[in-house]
Structure 1
Amino acid sequence: MSEEKKETKIEEKEAAVVEQKETDMMLSRAYKFEGQTYEKLDLSGMEDLTAQDMIDASRYMRRIGFSNMDEEMDLPYALFMASKVTGLPIEFFDALKPYDAIRIRGRMLRFFYNPA
């Protein structure tokens, strides 16, 4: 491969990294939902979450039959919060593959428990 082609590939990779924000989460595959294709999720809205959002998530958990002291550790709680953050309906998150759902839960847990 010529030097010029190598440099072009490196520049393309760097551009892709710059284009992806720190709060973006790439999905393991593209998901089609309501006629739109999603390859990544923008989780930047986590910074705007409020205690009321957490209360709403707790109510959601009770409504679907979950009762746990550490609700924020449960997958449905994290997916509900991701729904709040992204503006996508909970049905979008219900259709994710397990790998992506667990990664979302991990992102939410790190956000809740890591000091800013």
Structure 2
Amino acid sequence: MKIMLSKEFVFEGKTYSEVDLNLENLTGADLEAAERIAISEGGGLGNFAELCKPFQAAVAARAAKLPLEFFHSLPAKDYSLITLSVGNFLLK
């Protein structure tokens, strides 16, 4: 799933206009790893990790093979679009 960014974004010297989330190839182990990352970063997962932005961002990082810092650095509009897309994918 390709997510078009609202404007070009530069991270570590590389310019991005989209993020390719390969969510279909993630495994349960990937989701568990994302959950551990979200918890270690202070994300309270509550009853549904799938609805937690820190967890969704960690899943996006694994799916896109980009560092979590990439997603944390995105403009709020793009961060929200990506995390919502991950949550929608996981809950379908």
Would the TM-score normalized by the shorter structure come out above 0.5?
Answer: yes
Structure 2 unaligned runs (5+)? none
Structure 1 unaligned runs (5+)? 1-22
SS at match of 1:92: helix
Identity level (%): 32
CA contact (8 A) 2:4 2:19 kept: yes
Runs (4 or more) in structure 1 with deviation over 3 Å come to none
CA contact (8 A) 2:57 2:71 kept: yes
SS at match of 1:28: strand
Show the counterpart of 2:31.
54
CA drift of 1:66 comes to 2.3
Based on CA coordinates, which of the two structures has the bigger radius of gyration? 1
CA drift of 1:57 comes to 1.3
Let me know the Cα RMSD of the aligned residues.
1.0
- When the two structures are aligned, how many residues end up with a matched partner? 91
TM-score with structure 2 setting the length: 0.91
CA contact (8 A) 1:75 1:101 kept: no
Q: What pairs up with 1:1-116 in 2 under 5 angstroms?
A: 23-43=1-21, 45-67=22-44, 68-114=46-92
Deviations 1:8-48 (A, max 9, x none): xxxxxxxxxxxxxxx211001111111110000111x1000
Q: Using CA pairs below 8 Å that are at least 6 residues apart, which structure has the higher relative contact order? A: 2
